[in-house]
Amino acid sequence: MSRRSVFSTIGGLGVLALAACGLGGGGLSGELDDVAEGVEGVVSSELHAGPGGTFAAEVSGDIETSAADEAALRPIAEDVLRALAAHMVERGGDDADTRCGMIRVLAQDGTAIGPADLVPGAAQDLMTFATVADAFGA
């Protein structure tokens, strides 16, 4: 068996594994977009679930809001991150340990707030939905 065949097989198995755990396709991303868009003040959500740079499960992307500025954005960001964290905790399994530090909640003036801005002492690249749930009581 050639190296190319081995690597192709390994790659295919990786895709199957991601699809089986709900991180490989639009399923989880779509669920999270629906949760985010259900929060008052959220205009649209473009979240992407999949392996991050370290191959750990990660959700990243932008959530656009109707907030004019940072003062109006902060409570919406807290509500949407609380809702997303609660959803991931309710899903059970390892979903609560999915990293979420690269989510940006955006105001109309371009201001962005992420989970690390709302959870004191938490490192952005290691932030998980469980951390957010604990911080917000979700």
pLDDT tens digits, 65-103: 999 999 999 999 999 999 999 999 999 888 999 999 899
- Domains and their CATH numbers in the chain: 3-136 (3.30.300)
Structure confidence at residue 10 (pLDDT):
58
Which three-class secondary structure state does DSSP give residue 123?
A: coil
**Residue 15's pLDDT band (cuts 50, 70, 90):** very low
- pTM, whole model, 2 decimals? 0.78
Reply yes or no on whether the pLDDT at 62 is more than 50.
Answer: yes
Reply yes or no on whether the pLDDT at 7 is more than 70.
Answer: no
How many CB atoms lie under 10 A from the CB of residue 129?
A: 27
pLDDT tens digits, 111-120: 999 999 999 8
- Write down the residue that tokens 């065949």 correspond to: 5
Give just the sign of the alpha carbon dihedral 65, 69, 72, 77: positive
